Structure 1
Amino acid sequence: MTDVEFLTQLRGLAREFADMLRPTVLPVDRDPSLARTLLDSGLPWRQLMGLPAEYNPDPLRVGGRAVYLDKAVEQVTVLEELARVDAAAVLAQPGPSMSGFVVSELADRKQYERYFTRLAEAPTWTFFGITEPTHGSDPASMTTAVRPDGAGGYHLTGTKRFVGNGARAGIGVVFARRRPGPLGIGAVLLETDRPGFTGVPLETLGLRGLQLSELQMRDVPLTDDDLLGRDRSATRQGMWAAVRTFNRYRPVVSALALGVAQAAYDYAVEHGTRSTKDGRLAGFAERLNGTRTLILAAARSADRDAADGTLASAAKIRATRLAEELSIAAVDCFGPGARWDHPLLDKYVRDARAFEFMEGTSTIQRLNLAQAYLSGRLDDDRAA
Structure 2
Amino acid sequence: MFDPHDPLGIDDLLTDEDRAVRDTVRQWAADRVLPHIAQWYESGELPVVRELARELGAIGALGMQLSGYGCAGASAVQYGLACLELEAADSGIRSLVSVQGSLAMYAIHRFGSEEQKQRWLPAMAAGETIGCFGLTEPDHGSDPAGMRTYAKRDAGGDWVLTGRKMWITNGSVAGVAVVWAQTDGGIRGFVVPTDRPGLSAPEIRHKWSLRASVTSELVLDEVRLPADAVLPEATGLRGPLSCLSHARYGIVWGSMGAARTSFETALDYARTREQFGKPIGAFQLTQAKLADMAVELHKGILLAHHLGRRMDAGTLRPEQVSFGKLNNVREAIEICRTARTVLGANGISLEYPVMRHATNLESVLTYEGTVEMHQLVLGKALTGLDAFR
Shorter-normalised TM range? 0.7 to 0.9
Residue number in structure 2 paired with 1:149: 154
Mapped pair 1:158 → 2:176:
no
Residues in 1 aligned to 2:165 and 2:350: alpha-carbon distance in whole angstroms: 37
Structure 1 residue 168: Cα displacement: 0.8
Superposed CA RMSD in Å reads 2.6
Q: Is the 8 A contact 1:268 1:330 kept in 2?
A: yes
Pairing of 1:3-42 with structure 2 (within 5 A): 4-6=14-16, 7-20=18-31, 21-29=33-41, 30-36=43-49, 39=52
Structure 1 residue 298: Cα displacement: 1.9
Q: Is the 8 A contact 1:163 1:214 kept in 2?
A: yes
Residues in 1 aligned to 2:381 and 2:137: alpha-carbon distance in whole angstroms: 27
Identity %: 24
Per the normalisation by structure 1, the TM-score is 0.84
Structure 1 residue 41: Cα displacement: 9.9
Residues in 1 aligned to 2:27 and 2:46: alpha-carbon distance in whole angstroms: 25
Q: Secondary structure of the equivalent of 1:283?
A: helix
* Structure 1 counterpart of 2:382, from 369, 373, 378: 373
Mapped pair 1:214 → 2:217:
yes
Q: Is the 8 A contact 1:106 1:237 kept in 2?
A: no
Residue number in structure 1 paired with 2:195: 193
Residue number in structure 2 paired with 1:48: 61
Residues in 1 aligned to 2:305 and 2:163: alpha-carbon distance in whole angstroms: 37
Which amino acid letter does the alignment assign opposite residue 102 of structure 1? A
Deviations 1:123-168 (A, max 9, x none): 2211110000011152331100001233331210000001111111
Instruction: Describe the shift of the 1:115–1:302 C-alpha distance in structure 2 as closer, same or farther (beyond 3 A).
Output: same
Deviations 1:214-260 (A, max 9, x none): 1100000011110112xx5xxx5241111211222212012111111
Residues in 2 aligned to 1:41 and 1:187: alpha-carbon distance in whole angstroms: 26
Mapped pair 1:280 → 2:271:
no
Per the normalisation by structure 2, the TM-score is 0.83
Instruction: Describe the shift of the 1:325–1:103 C-alpha distance in structure 2 as closer, same or farther (beyond 3 A).
Output: same
Structure 1 residue 292: Cα displacement: 0.6
* Structure 2 counterpart of 1:333, from 331, 342, 346: 342
Residue number in structure 1 paired with 2:6: none
Structure 1 residue 31: Cα displacement: 3.8
Structure 1: which 5+ runs fail to align? 60-67, 377-384
* Structure 2 counterpart of 1:134, from 139, 147, 155: 139
Residue number in structure 1 paired with 2:361: 352
User: For structure 1, which segment, 283-292 or 8-17, has the greater mean C-alpha deviation from structure 2 after superposition?
Assistant: 8-17
Aligned length: 357
Q: Is the 8 A contact 2:67 2:73 kept in 1?
A: no
Residue number in structure 2 paired with 1:293: 302
Q: Secondary structure of the equivalent of 1:269?
A: helix
Q: Is the 8 A contact 2:182 2:188 kept in 1?
A: yes
Deviations 1:298-318 (A, max 9, x none): 223334448821221111111
Residue number in structure 2 paired with 1:90: 94
Instruction: Describe the shift of the 1:258–1:307 C-alpha distance in structure 2 as closer, same or farther (beyond 3 A).
Output: closer
User: For structure 1, which segment, 72-81 or 166-175, has the greater mean C-alpha deviation from structure 2 after superposition?
Assistant: 72-81
Structure 2: which 5+ runs fail to align? 1-11, 274-278
Q: Is the 8 A contact 2:346 2:352 kept in 1?
A: no
Q: Secondary structure of the equivalent of 2:87?
A: helix
Instruction: Describe the shift of the 1:121–1:281 C-alpha distance in structure 2 as closer, same or farther (beyond 3 A).
Output: closer
Structure 1 residue 80: Cα displacement: 0.4
Q: Is the 8 A contact 2:149 2:162 kept in 1?
A: yes
Q: Is the 8 A contact 2:262 2:335 kept in 1?
A: yes
Residues in 1 aligned to 2:235 and 2:156: alpha-carbon distance in whole angstroms: 24
